[in-house]
Every structure is written in structure tokens, then in C-alpha cells.
Amino acid sequence: MPSLILLRGLPGSGKTTLANLLSEEGKYPIHSIDSYFTDSKTGTYNFEFDKNHLAYKQCEEQTEQSIQQGIEKIFIDNTFTIEWELEPYFKLASKYGYSIFVLTVENRHGGKNIHHISEDQIQKMAAKYKVVLY
């Protein structure tokens, strides 16, 4: 069964680490908003808020390309703290007949966010974070 697996959680929760583990050493692709801001040569992360919409668009396009290639499992690693961030992936799954799973990753291991997001900002993100009960 072809599947989109969305990994959501606050910064530092371990989404990327879990995605890498589940992808079976790169057998399955991982698409992420963070990829847009990460230099592929140096691995340096440089977030630019005014380009965030481009990062979302790129992640969605890469996901759709993977779907069109018929890849069985596709992982998307993002905070997904707001409902609208999930919607494009639900639409893609429906359009192409993919099952969709949303996994919430929690920081119970004492991980640190590597993107230098302040504790205050993480608390604001947590306040907007909704869990759907249906």
C-alpha cells in the first residue's frame, strides 16, 4: 500500500532522526521544509522567513514527484503545528490513491533543536499545536 508518512513535532523532537531511521538508510525519500534552507555542500542551516513559502512549495513539489515515480513510502518531516500545513499532503494522498499517516514525535529523549529556535518561539509553536481527535 503506497503511503505518505508525515512526521510532525516541535523543533528538537527528533523528527529528522526518526525519518532517517524509518527511511531504511535512504531507501525511501524524506522531504522536508528544512532542506530548502540547508546548504547541500556544508550542511549549514540558514532559515530566512521571507522564503518560507518557497520552502513549503518545494517540499510539496518534491513529494508529488516522488508519488508520480510510484515510490511506496514517502516521509515528510516538518513541524506541522498548524492544520493548513498538513492539507496539501492530504490532497496529494487523495489525488494519487496514497494512504496517509501522521506521526507525532515528542521530545522525551532530551533532544536539542539544531536550528537555534528560542525556547519562547517553541512555546508559541506549542500553543498553536493541535491534535485531531477524529
Domains and CATH numbers, the chain: 3-128 (3.40.50.300)
Task: Give 53-69 pLDDT, tens digit per residue.
Answer: 999 999 999 999 999 99
- Looking at per-residue pLDDT, the higher value among 132 and 81 belongs to 81
- Whether residue 77 contacts residue 16, with contact meaning beta carbons closer than 8 Å, is answered with yes
pLDDT value of residue 114? 62
Q: Is the pLDDT of residue 17 over 80?
A: yes
pTM of the model as a whole: 0.86
Q: Is the pLDDT of residue 28 over 90?
A: yes
Q: Is the pLDDT of residue 23 over 60?
A: yes
For the chain, the average pLDDT equals 88
- Whether residue 132 contacts residue 101, with contact meaning beta carbons closer than 8 Å, is answered with no
- Whether residue 74 contacts residue 32, with contact meaning beta carbons closer than 8 Å, is answered with no
Please enumerate in sequence order all residues whose Cβ is within 8 A of that of 18, keeping only pairs 6 or more positions apart, or say none: 7, 103, 105
